[in-house]
Structure 1
């Protein structure tokens, strides 16, 4: 949710900075005369509603600038996504890539699985693992996917010590066999 808000704020900030850039460029090219500029500034000081609007816009831009400054400092120091665990002896950090490789290793041991890709999502309850596979079509797909789910869940939990809440297997395709039977005439 916070990323969506940050993206929206960045979008608004970009539009406002872009409009200000065009305004400053117009002043630089003298497309806005000094009398018009004086009139705009005079209205900002004379009309209270314009003055309040300028104050609010200025404060919002300052707050957005501060938000982006702190986000850049916070996210800039972050390492690769990982799963953190605390033990009696200290902290353990296991990268998401490691979990992905463990899942792929367990799934690739089954006959009939040809092309595998994994996506890992860490939740508070445990790991959600989504596998995309291409199978050979020579064995039962429901039985094969059930074996893969069980093997991946057990392997990741045994090796990484992290509970797996869900293993989803998406069979993307069935590969065609490359054998061609010769005709006897």
Structure 2
């Protein structure tokens, strides 16, 4: 309910500021003469004091809305970190996406021949989608290494979190070059 109210206030605020900006631009560029503006106000209300009071009232409302938006923008929400929520018979469990990424990295690092890992987690209705980006040493079969990594990551995440893994995609970014050592030949 509060979010809907904030959206409505933001819409009204945007319209009011937009109209005020257009009027200010036209007035500053000489589009309206001061005498003409006074005549319009007088014809419309009959009294300039009523317009001044109205302008002050609208300005106070816009100031209050500005303060509200400032507070909303600065306030930190405790549940702002992306997480995966599960309901059990004992209550709710929230696991951060960062935790799942770290579990995936730990599992993937157990695969021999893998270097420089990165992990991304997507949450969907079917389960977790894990993307592993890795460099390999190039000494083994890349398909075999990738399948082993997929199996290890999937099993480890499902065991550790209890969340089903829909897919584990492995992206081999490159093959690392092992530093070669040359023996100096002294004659």
TM-score, normalisation: structure 2: 0.65
For residues 36 and 138 of structure 1, the distance between their equivalents in structure 2, rounded to whole angstroms, comes to 84
1:129 deviation in Å?
0.3
In structure 2, the residue corresponding to 1:157 is in which secondary structure? helix
Q: Deviations over 1:122-169 (max 9, x none)?
A: 001110000111111111111101100000000000000000000001
In structure 1, the residue corresponding to 2:93 is in which secondary structure? strand
For residues 34 and 80 of structure 2, the distance between their equivalents in structure 1, rounded to whole angstroms, comes to 52
Residues 1:175 and 2:176 are matched in the alignment: yes
Q: Which residue of 2 aligns with 1:117?
A: 118
Relative to 1, partners in 2 of residues 1:33 and 1:85: Cα closer, same or farther, differing over 3 Å? same
In structure 2, the residue corresponding to 1:137 is in which secondary structure? coil
- How many residue pairs match? The answer is 151
TM-score, normalisation: structure 1: 0.66
Q: Which residue of 2 aligns with 1:4?
A: none
* Gap runs ≥5 in structure 1: 1-9, 42-64
Q: Which residue of 2 aligns with 1:151?
A: 152
For residues 143 and 39 of structure 2, the distance between their equivalents in structure 1, rounded to whole angstroms, comes to 75
Show the 5 A alignment for 1:1-185: 17=17, 20-27=20-27, 29=28, 31=30, 32-34=32-34, 37=37, 77=77, 78-182=79-183
* Gap runs ≥5 in structure 2: 1-9, 42-64
Structure with larger Rg: 2
In structure 2, the residue corresponding to 1:179 is in which secondary structure? coil
